[in-house]
Amino acid sequence: MTETLFSFDKRNYLECQDAYRGEKNQEYYLGDYSIEAGSVIDVRADKKAVGSCSIIRLRSKTRLSFQRSWTHIREDATDVTVLWFVRQGRLCINHQCGHSVAEAGGFGITKSLSPFTIKCETNDDSVHEVLHVIVPTHVFRRFMPDEVKAGFTLSGKRREFVIAERLLTDIFEDSDELAPHLEQLLLDSALALVADALKDCENCLMVRQSLPDQRLQEVLRYIDIHLSDPSLSATMVAEACDISPRYLSFLLKQNGTPFSDLVWDKRMKIASQWLSCSKPGEISIAEIAFRVGFKSPAHFSRMFKRLFDKGPREYRAACMAGGVEKPEGTFMAKHNHTLQ
């Protein structure tokens, strides 16, 4: 029999953070849950427990978001894999390797031991609906021993996904007519179908990374996203990635590039690419300077000339006339410059 996990409307939606895990605070896992304010707020999640797994149908008439960070993972080490079947609206997932979107009819996977952010977006009729299955990871490994990437999405049109969702829906809607062992058998069949489809998708499987490698990828991604921020610093990156500045230094040292080298090389590389493939009327040198994190166009021009032996304007002109020779080595190696 199904039970209501939570139900929010205008009267209580601000209490969602304290109530989304159910009355006993045992469902899902720790994270930051929020419901967007709107003229209509109607969010409801109903749950059907099958053995150690839960099948949950979530319906909403407003947008929802959920974030699980390394801080949450350290506080709550719940290890589950969540299979998402999107019925209406769409599911947007930001994860360590990038961004994925599952449209209506799509399928996705998240893992509670990998940081991610989910946004549940409504369709044109202001409706969002997903059916998702929370499976202890050790249980899912019985069907899928290979490591699967977290946060990826796929089209749900594959026959295996269609049949798996149908089985899960039948289990969810059953009013105690099936014996528990038959429900478990149907659930196992659905999980086997999902696993079989995933085994055929090479992009879903990942080369297993160590925790330091995972943290390094998260650091590099954060730097890329915030490269245009002139206040970008090692302290800022370490705090955002929930690691100490000392550990950040260790990760980058293992990667062979200190923080200052890495940031300046990325900024100069992007600036040179912009200059080499644009005309003066398309983007100004000042705008390029600001976009790669310089507070002053004059400072940018001085630093650029030290590396490329040409100022930005001359470099652009040389590229338009037939190209220029790319510099060897890193900015730091050539000029021993320190990022402030």
pLDDT at position 299 over 50: yes
- Report d(CA 158, CA 168) in Å as an integer: 16
Distances (CA, A) of 47 to 142, 168, 188, 294: 23, 12, 18, 52
Q: Is 263 exposed, middle or buried (0-12, 13-18, 19+ CB in 10 A)?
A: buried
Output the pLDDT for position 58: 97
pLDDT at position 332 over 90: no
Q: What is the pLDDT of residues 156-166, one digit of tens each?
A: 788 999 999 99
- Report d(CA 6, CA 13) in Å as an integer: 10
Domains and CATH numbers, the chain: 3-204 (2.60.120.10), 211-335 (1.10.10.60)
Output the pLDDT for position 283: 87
Tell me, rounded to whole angstroms, the distance of Cα 259 from its chain centroid.
23
pLDDT band at 337 (very low <50, low <70, confident <90, very high): very low
Give the H or E element holding residue 67.
Answer: strand 64-68
pLDDT band at 202 (very low <50, low <70, confident <90, very high): low
Output the pLDDT for position 91: 94
Distances (CA, A) of 143 to 18, 84, 90, 189: 34, 17, 27, 10
- Greatest alpha-carbon pair distance for the chain in Å reads 79
- Report d(CA 76, CA 59) in Å as an integer: 26
Output the pLDDT for position 25: 77
Output the pLDDT for position 276: 87
**Pairwise pLDDT comparison (115 vs 210), residue with the higher score:** 115
